[in-house]
Structure 1
Amino acid sequence: MRWWGIATTLVLLLAGCDGEPETAVTPSQAQSLPAPGTARLDAAKAQPLQAALAKIVAFPDSPAGSRGATAAVVTDRWTWSGAAGKDISGTALRPETSIAVASITKTFVAAEVMLLAQAKKVDLDAPISTYVKHKLTTNNATVRQHLSMTAGVPDFLPDDYFRLDGAVTAAPGRHWTAVQTLSYLTAPIEAPNSTFSYSNPSYLLLGELIENVTGQPFAAAFRRDLAAPAGLRHAAFQDGEKPQPPVAIDHNESCGGQPDGYLPCRAFASAVGATGSLAADAPTVAHWGYQLYGGRVLPMELVGEMTTGDGDYGLGTMLFTRLFGIGTAFGHRGDMPDSTSLLVVIPEKKLSIALLLADGDRHIETGMGELTKALEPLLS
């Protein structure tokens, strides 16, 4: 299994999984949201949501199933969180169980870069080489093109991932830098253009930009500028921070058999770095989505830029349009070998949903569809 995510899954998701043509999203479809609700959803009303989680774990070996699932919902009136099933060690999951959420990290990267742009410390339309000197920044691609994955920087090839796996396995406790990880990329860079191509290396470079401009590790910048203002209590940007217990145990083969407090281990977490190192629980992820895409962390004009694209990707944001049936949605998917995650925010419904699975390579969109179906009667 590819250790960073499943390319085929991402291609299918970004192409649109509902069989209907995707349309470009315009800034006007992003809207500011009121403060998130603090009341807990009545237990009787929450039964259909819990039943959706139970359905996921009832058939753990099916493509859309999982051994364990957690989920959370944030609206302007109430919140809900739930859990079902177990992690691979047999420990029952709780709503507050931390799980590696992989590429949802990219929403933080994009938000931080947008803040730096607002502060006139970064020019989105300047070449990223203005801020990061690297052989991958020599094609004059702009910061904005890296954010939108149109910079002409390819993703790692299967053989690149294989060699990275071997290096992580050799020293699971090692700290990796972005430059060390990028040294494994063998595919040639191309001229920047308007063609979207999913690129983890672009986000490693953006992590370097954040560190160079702020003078801080990206974990510290995220904590100061995003996590603290958004009130995120259980987000850990690895390996600058360790996940807070309880933590879903996984048995990643690259990491050996001894847990070291990171998900899945320090070498893996630091090697993915700014492109996918976040570990969090479902309530934290749902709260982050509400605060970010509701214009409560960034000004709405910046949120509008993040949620605008010519296809299915904006700036650090997947554009789901009406994939889940109840409104235009923004967010991100995350894939790790031992976990799958999905954040979906539907501003017109004042709604943010996080679904985290304790299994890798899952068809998580099916479970999210069940949750949105169960939620619809509760939103009137």
Structure 2
Amino acid sequence: MRNSFSRRRRVRAGIAALGIFAAPLGAGTAVATEPPGPALFTTSSASAPAPAPSAETDFPELTPAVAAELDKAIQGVMKDAGVPGVIVGLSAPGKGQYLRSFGEADTAIGVPMSPGLYMRIGSETKTFTVTAVLELVDDGKIGLDDPISDYIAGVPNGDKITLRNLASMRSGLFNYTGDEGFYKALTSDPDRPFTPQQLLDYSFKHPVEFQPGAEFQYSNTNTILLGLVVEKVAGMPLHEYIQENVVEPAGLRHTAFPTDAAFPRPHAHGYTDQTASGEIEDATDWNPSWGWAAGAMTSNLQDMRSWAKTVATGTLLTPETQAERLKVYPTSTSGDGYGLGIFNIQGWIGHNGSLPGYQSLTIYLPESEATLVVLLNTDVTKDGIAPSTRFGKAITGIVTPDHVYDIPAPPPQQPSPGNS
């Protein structure tokens, strides 16, 4: 794995070597590139046989046999999809926990992936931005059915598009990351900063694609607008509001909203083919300002495992507002749906994330109180399927065969970063 990625990537000037995380998350972590042994995970009954789920709400004990099956499946996805490194955390009350890291965090010098590394979480930022919006709803400062024109001027169809339309990806606004000019600007100078207004300008030069509420279409433009609403109503920068009102109350100590390319250490290097040349390059230090409210945040496994339950159960919101969040609109014939900055895929509630060099998946299954977090250091797809989706499908296919996480490959289109 190291050789194939090292040959093809272009090393960016000024990239420092990745430090090695010395303090483990706790019992059950693994820092290895080879399959870890049974002692590296915990279960409620390590000697018990590996039972298969027999009912929809059953979740198996994470015994050595189940762990070995998961190891094999995860390493199979890594090989098939060409993933340099991945971190996986899976747990459920009374069933034990499975914490693993495989592969490399820096392919140039062979640093192994570790469970404690910081990662960019891409579009999982949306769960934080929408939580901030919903907190303002609970405070009585805004309403979900307010038109965006009440807060932001110049939005196409702004008098018809509501905050609910934006949060549920049903506004009809063009996704700025699909604009050719944006794509060229980012890939020609990945270090450049973008302002929220510049991002909106890429979107607003395109006509609306449908009337508000008529369809579902994932668009980062929606969340940029919601971030601006938070700033206007709260009277403070979005990153400060999220830190003070979402991150800290949720007890997250390793989650941040950077305003530049800053990236807490130690972190994994990320590899992407979303480049001007089409070759795989190291995107670790690319400026994530182009994602802003839709995708700029960083975190680690420990925090995302906690956040999975917080966001899915609505710890920071009133029950009434959380119920609004979880009202999903169908996105496919399989019954999957997207609510307010959150999805429900076969019972798993949460979000995924992708931006150049990184992908993530953080989901929660209420029936079993199960949590799954996957963090990886590439966004390179194969056959149009995101590697985070491949991992999610492989893992849930083993532990929750009645609730298999899967997002089908989209129709072929010109590649653009940050679509998941």
- TM category, shorter: 0.7 to 0.9
The within-5 A match list for 1:129-148 is 129-136=149-156, 138-148=158-168
SS in 2 for 1:371: helix
CA distance in 2, matches of 1:97, 1:214: 32
- Verify the 8 A CA contact 1:291 1:297 in the aligned structure 2: yes
Report 1:102-181 matches (<5 A). 102-136=122-156, 138-156=158-176, 158=178, 160=179, 162-169=180-187, 171-181=189-199
Counterpart CA distance in 1 for 2:389 and 2:188 is 35
Which residue is equivalent to 1:319?
A: 344
Q: Do the aligned partners of 1:175 and 1:266 also contact (CA within 8 Å) in 2? A: no
Aligned pair in 2 of structure 1 residues 284, 74: CA closer, same or farther (>3 Å)? Answer: farther
Instruction: Look up the match of 2:200.
Output: 182
Q: Tell me how far apart the structure 2 counterparts of residues 107 and 53 of structure 1 sit (CA, whole Å).
A: 29
1:235 aligned residue: 255
Given the alignment, which residue of 299, 308, 323 partners 1:304? 323
What whole-Å deviation, never above 9, does each CA across 1:297-351 have from its counterpart, x for those lacking one?
A: 222322221111231111101121x2xxxxx221112122322221211111112
**CA gap 1:235/1:74 in 2 versus in 1, 3 angstroms:** farther
Instruction: Output the amino acid matched with 1:62.
Output: D
In structure 2, relative to structure 1, the CA distance for the partners of 1:374 and 1:197 (3 Å cut) is closer
Percent of pairs with identical residues? 26
The 8 Å contact of residues 283 and 357 in structure 2, kept in 1 or not, is answered as no
TM-score when normalising by structure 1: 0.76
Q: Which residue is equivalent to 2:373?
A: 354
- Please tell me whether residue 86 in structure 1 is matched to residue 104 in structure 2: yes
Q: Aligned residues, how many?
A: 325
Letter in 2 for 1:313: Y
- Report the AA paired with residue 135 of structure 2: L
Aligned to 1:42: 42
- Report the CA distance between 1:294 and its aligned residue: 2.1
Tell me the SS of whatever aligns to 1:71: strand
Q: Deviations over 1:215-260 (max 9, x none)?
A: 222111111111111111211212268432221112457799xxxx
CA change 1:207–1:263 in 2 (3 A) is farther
Q: Which moved more, 1:71-80 or 1:306-315?
A: 71-80
- Report the 3-state secondary structure (helix = DSSP H, G, I; strand = E; otherwise coil) of the residue aligned with 1:349: coil
Whether 1:210 and 2:230 are equivalent positions in the alignment is: yes
Aligned to 2:390: 366
Task: Tell me the residue number matched to 1:280.
Answer: 299
Measured against aligned partners, the alpha-carbon deviations of 1:169-213 in whole angstroms (never above 9, x if no partner) come to: 555444321111122223212432331111110111111111111
- Structure-2 change in CA distance of 1:135 and 1:295 (3 Å): closer
- Give me the whole-angstrom Cα distance separating, in 2, the residues matched to 1:255 and 1:354: 27
Gaps of 5+ in 2: 1-25, 29-40, 47-61, 277-281, 331-336, 402-420
Check the 8 A contact 1:52/1:367 in 2, yes or no.
Answer: no
One-letter amino acid of the counterpart of residue 304, structure 1: A
Structure 1: segments with no counterpart, 5+ residues: 1-37, 257-261, 323-327
Work out the CA distance in 2 between the residues paired with 1:165 and 1:157. Answer: 7
Distance 2:162 2:151 in 1: 10
**Which residue identity is paired with 2:142?**
V
User: 1:243 is paired with a residue of what secondary structure?
Assistant: coil
Is residue 2:212 matched to residue 1:192?
Answer: yes
Does the 8 Å contact 1:57/1:69 carry over to 2?
no
Conservation of the 8 A alpha-carbon contact between 1:46 and 1:80: no
- On the 8 A contact 1:175/1:270 being kept in 2, the answer is yes
- Amino acid corresponding to residue 349 of structure 1 in structure 2: S
Change (3 A) 1:102 1:223: same
Per the alignment, in what secondary structure is the counterpart of residue 89 of structure 2? Answer: strand
Change (3 A) 1:219 1:263: farther
| Per-residue CA distance 1:93-127 (angstroms, 9 max, x = gap) | 11111222211111111111110000011111110
User: Counting helix residues as a fraction of each chain, which structure ranks higher?
Assistant: 1
SS in 1 for 2:363: strand
With normalisation by structure 2, the TM-score equals 0.69
Q: Which has more radius of gyration? A: 2
Superposition pairs for residues 26-65 of structure 1, below 5 Å? 42=42, 44=46, 45=62, 47=64, 48-49=66-67, 52-53=70-71, 55-58=73-76, 60-63=78-81
CA RMSD of aligned residues (A): 2.9
Read off the aligned partner of 1:298 and give its amino acid letter. L
Deviation at 1:373, TM superposition (A): 4.9
Shift of 1:371: 2.7
